[in-house]
């Protein structure tokens, strides 16, 4: 189905599918199950993506990307999601993809020269350091406690963060801190660029977690103790950190949706192949009605995911914030893809939980999607608040008649 994708988008997606089928999936299958993939393998895949004009398509050409429109690139993200190696191969992998987008939006020329270009090239990596432990900012960012105070021509940062994706391996950290204690938190926080090598930055640990992928994704706990950074390390406008975060997170949530849609699609492909090959009780499992209906339900929900995400992306492309549409896409996609991958795993039985097939890694990875980039409950709260904002006065008046 075309889903109203442009000819450019369809061509890009088709070339990405060919790259996945001919290069990435064979590379994945050659890797030992359950073991991290080496940096040399990723570097080789990236070089082949460059040769096929599939590398960093969402980033402007001046920074090393292909300069394509976000809406046109969206279907490529789904193709990339078909293997855990796909997104890093085409440089559309989180968190760097979202951080690169942030630099493009609000970075200075000097910052983009120092950080964005090498990020796009894959020469450095980055971490998004926003979430805090129990008494700090998590699902409710108004609780953020990390501060940045001006001292001469420097900012002094103090705070405690965790779940900083890729934080222990990052060459630069995007740190959100309160810069105006008197302002509403949504108008009193800012982003700062922090090197993990400066005095006062302590990488406490990589947090053990469900879903550590074969490409070695980590989430770090980090303490900032009187960390000094120059004025030039302010990323974006002062006190506008939440606004910049929303600019980053809206498109990033949609790209997550598409990557996980691709992951679920691949899981179902594996399951359908297995069901067609495996026999039980006198016939192939693919002939069993109960299993066929499970697959049908999953396919239907994934179709709805693709349409919902594209609707939100169209609104963003038109200049809208599309906050409700993004929230709907995120919560629906997270649950639909989790259910699809769970179905695929169940269909494959013991092979599903083994690591010879990719479904086991997919299953671990997708569970986190209902929490990262906003938990289900947070997005539902946003959607419900909007739903009740304009209660129909005529309906209220009619209710009083029924109440007697």
- Whether residues 218 and 263 fall in one domain: no
Mean per-residue pLDDT for 126-150? 85
What does the pLDDT look like over 221-241, one tens digit per residue? 999 999 999 999 999 999 999
- Whether residues 140 and 219 fall in one domain: yes
**Res 35: pLDDT:** 79
CB atoms within 10 A of CB 390: 7
Q: Which domain-ending residue is among 235, 257, 279?
A: 235
- Whether residues 230 and 247 fall in one domain: no
**Res 137: pLDDT:** 64
* Portion of the chain with pLDDT greater than 70, in percent: 95
Host domain of residue 223: 126-235
- Whether residues 286 and 361 fall in one domain: yes
**Res 402: pLDDT:** 62
Instruction: Provide CB contacts within 8 A for 312, sequence distance 6+.
Output: 254, 322, 325, 326, 328, 329
What does the pLDDT look like over 62-77, one tens digit per residue? 999 999 999 999 999 9
Separation between Cα atoms, residue 94 and residue 166, nearest integer Å: 9
Separation between Cα atoms, residue 84 and residue 94, nearest integer Å: 11
Residue 151 has phi, psi (to 5 degrees) of -140, 95
- Whether residues 382 and 265 fall in one domain: yes
- Whether residues 221 and 256 fall in one domain: no
**Res 70: pLDDT:** 93
Average of per-residue pLDDT values in the chain: 93
pLDDT-derived band of residue 214, with 50, 70 and 90 as boundaries?
low
- The CATH number given to whatever domain includes residue 27 is 1.10.540.10
Give bridge partners of residue 155 from the DSSP assignment. 150, 229
- Whether residues 297 and 381 fall in one domain: yes
What does the pLDDT look like over 27-53, one tens digit per residue? 999 988 777 889 999 999 999 999 999
Separation between Cα atoms, residue 148 and residue 192, nearest integer Å: 9
Mean per-residue pLDDT for 331-357? 97
Q: Which domain-ending residue is among 199, 220, 235?
A: 235
pLDDT-derived band of residue 276, with 50, 70 and 90 as boundaries?
very high
- Whether residues 152 and 36 fall in one domain: no
**Res 390: pLDDT:** 78
Separation between Cα atoms, residue 366 and residue 125, nearest integer Å: 23
Number of domains in the chain: 3
251 within domain boundaries: yes
**Res 213: pLDDT:** 61
Structure tokens at 123: 């020469």
What does the pLDDT look like over 172-194, one tens digit per residue? 999 999 999 888 868 899 999 99
**Res 26: pLDDT:** 97
What does the pLDDT look like over 280-329, one tens digit per residue? 899 999 999 999 999 999 999 999 999 999 999 999 999 998 999 999 99
What does the pLDDT look like over 101-130, one tens digit per residue? 999 999 999 999 999 999 999 999 999 999
Q: Which domain-ending residue is among 235, 250, 283?
A: 235
365 within domain boundaries: yes
Identify which of 333, 325, 326, 328 has the alpha carbon closest to the alpha carbon of residue 305: 333
- Whether residues 219 and 275 fall in one domain: no
107 within domain boundaries: no
109 within domain boundaries: no
Buried b or exposed e, range 61-99, using 16+ CB within 10 angstroms: eebbbbebebbbbbbbbbbbbbbbbbbbbbbbbbbbbbb
- Whether residues 173 and 296 fall in one domain: no
393 within domain boundaries: no
Separation between Cα atoms, residue 49 and residue 262, nearest integer Å: 18
- Using alpha carbons only, give the angle 112, 81, 248 rounded to the nearest 5 degrees: 35
- Whether residues 66 and 152 fall in one domain: no
- The CATH number given to whatever domain includes residue 366 is 1.20.140.10
For residue 356, pLDDT beyond 80: yes
pTM of the model: 0.92
For residue 143, pLDDT beyond 90: no
């Amino acid at each position: 189905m075309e889903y109203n994708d442009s000819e450019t988008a369809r061509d890009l997606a088709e070339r990405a599918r060919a790259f996945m089928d001919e290069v990435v999936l064979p590379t994945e299958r050659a890797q030992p199950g359950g073991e991290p993939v080496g940096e040399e393998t990723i570097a080789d895949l990236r070089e082949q993506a460059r040769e096929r004009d599939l590398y960093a398509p969402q980033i402007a050409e001046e920074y090393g990307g292909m300069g394509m429109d976000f809406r046109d690139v969206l279907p490529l993200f789904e193709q990339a999601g078909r293997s855990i190696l796909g997104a890093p191969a085409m440089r559309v992998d989180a968190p760097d993809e979202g951080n690169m987008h942030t630099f493009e939006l609000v970075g200075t020329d000097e910052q983009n020269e120092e950080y964005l270009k090498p990020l796009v090239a894959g020469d450095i990596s980055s971490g998004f350091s926003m979430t805090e432990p129990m008494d700090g900012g998590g699902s409710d960012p108004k609780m953020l406690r990390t501060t940045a105070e001006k001292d001469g021509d420097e900012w002094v940062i103090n705070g405690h963060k965790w779940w900083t994706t890729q934080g222990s391996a990052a060459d630069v950290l995007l740190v959100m801190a309160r810069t105006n204690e008197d302002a509403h938190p949504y108008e009193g926080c800012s982003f700062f660029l922090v090197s993990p090598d400066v005095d006062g930055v302590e990488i406490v640990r990589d947090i053990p977690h469900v879903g550590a992928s074969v490409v070695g994704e980590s989430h770090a706990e980090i303490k900032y103790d009187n960390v000094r950074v120059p004025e030039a390390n302010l990323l974006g406008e002062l006190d506008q950190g939440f606004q910049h975060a929303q600019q980053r997170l809206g498109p990033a949530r949609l790209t997550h949706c598409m990557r996980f849609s691709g992951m679920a699609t691949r899981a179902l492909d594996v399951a359908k192949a297995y069901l067609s090959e495996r026999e039980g009780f006198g016939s192939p499992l693919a002939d069993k009605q109960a299993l066929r209906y499970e697959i049908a339900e999953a396919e239907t929900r994934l179709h709805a995911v693709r349409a919902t995400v594209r609707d939100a992306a169209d609104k963003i492309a038109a200049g809208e914030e599309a906050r409700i549409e993004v929230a709907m896409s995120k919560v629906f996609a997270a649950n639909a893809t989790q259910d699809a991958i769970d179905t695929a795993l169940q269909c494959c039985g013991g092979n599903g939980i083994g690591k010879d097939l990719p479904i086991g890694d997919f299953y671990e990875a997708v569970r986190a999607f209902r929490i990262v980039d906003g938990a289900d409950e947070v997005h539902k709260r946003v959607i419900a608040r909007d739903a009740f904002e304009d209660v129909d006065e005529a309906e209220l008046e009619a209710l009083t008649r029924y109440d007697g």
